[in-house]
Structure 1
Amino acid sequence: MKVYEQGILIESNIYFHTPSEQAKNLFLHLICTGHYVCDSTYAVKRNRYDSFLLLYVIKGSGYVYQAETRVSLVEGSLLLLDCYQSHAYGTSEGWEIIWAHFDGKMARPYYEAIAKEGSFIVEQGVYSPHHSLQKIYNLFHETSTVKEPSVNKYLTNLLTDFFSSPHETEQANSHKIDELLAYINEHIQEPLPLETLADRVCLSPYYFIRTFKQETGYTPHEYVILTRVNAAKFYLRTTTLPIKEVVYRCGFSSECSFWTTFKKYTTHTPLAYRNMTEPL
């Protein structure tokens, strides 16, 4: 449903959930979830809202007050907040966030265990929070049936992120990018939009681009194009396939696009490249 509050823009949505008795007794359960796009006037200040909050910053930046100290929330930050206590957060520049208020018999023990780890904010490099929060949100936004065991699983995954060291996170991201490179090479003839690639590694598009470039030296778009050009070079030099077939096998949208892209990256037209006799 739409939200009509100061600082929350029209494209934002919020959904509420009344948990079953089984969910109350067994699971971490959802109270409400939302996807907000906010301007610089968005601010929340409450004495109490009986729940815990998980909030992920998709884009932009904001702040949260912890023990009367203002702490920054940057793009890629995951926040865990005890809303049984007085709390305040918001943005002075504008941001896009996805969040979930939750509770359950294990919510407080999780919170206290995370408190012993020393931080309720994980920044830049958490592997799964956007993906998991998006899954929770989509159960309301895109489907008519809310599966409470699935909500519990996603919430548990999110809380587990607070126990992961930065080194473990970097290793997980690196491993997933390696798997993605193999996927790109195996599916080069198919459309490979950014959102699809980011979803495969459970990262937001914004963080995915940075992580991918850090691992490969290229943006995802650059890497896909270079992979397609390199595949085309192979087919042109080692087969007699017609140009139309090369275009299809390498995933280019049209012959015109293929010719333009190929010449940009090789300085040769596809036919000139195929007919060259001197070593390349």
Structure 2
Amino acid sequence: MTADPFQRHRGLLFTVAYEMLGSVADAEDVVQDTWLRWSAADRSDVVEPKAFLVRIATRLALNRLRTLRNRRETYVGPWLPEPLVTGPDAAGGVELAEDVSMAMLVVLETLTPIERAVFVLREVFGFAYAEIATALDRSEASVRQVAHRAREHVQARRPRFDTDPEQRRAVTERFLRACFEGDLTALLEVLAPDVVMTNDGGGKARAALRPVLGADRVARFILGIRARGELDGFRFEAVELNGEPGFLGWVGDRVEVAAIIQSANGRVRRLLSFHNPERLSGVNRVAGCASRPAGRHGGY
């Protein structure tokens, strides 16, 4: 184990920042700024380096989150948290906390910045209220109140999806097979009646500007893309994104689209599709270090 506390806790710092910000680039900037402050600090009286580093990263992420919220108000189309390749085969050793999936990150977007910081530190990483109070420069009583409010908010809005890996894999396989074969009947059978498809293009890639609602509309939207030849030249690879089933669409040596497939009761409930190249930079860095997909179905 490395003796340098910053290097030892770098993964934790990135994950805290990413789960507060939903952006790989911004999380990496927070980690870099944390290192700069750590390097310049007088560490002679630092008793707990981990707590000290987390405090710096949390405050930096909190400041950046407030700025990002203003930026997202002018974002073209739906804004989704940036996906990350996870799982045992992911390059770079990126591992999210077990209970923070993309579904959870979407819910965290509805919290205030301070609620999100408290929730992530307390509910995700298990920091003590006193530690969070120090990190956020608030009283412990205030932090407890914020934590309670944030917990109730998340519990009320957190969607429930299938948790059994085999069931999720089976649903994903059925969905992708129906898409690739252009089978409308099979697609309607695997999509839940109230399925929602959200596309994040950011005005930088072709994508629907509003969520597509309902099985019939989603199925015809997907098959319309296929019929127009917009999938020609793509190679698809089944992957795990943020701990959930998904796939990457490659053109040459770059990922041009990523998608997460969320299911409940054996049917697809939500489709999250990422097209904005700026939102795929982290996926491309991780995926680019791994082996290329061998074929069109990428193992499915």
TM-score by length of 1: 0.27
Rg (Cα) greater in structure: 1
Q: Which has the higher contact order (CA 8 A, sep 6+)?
A: 2
Greater fraction helix: 2
More strand by share: 1
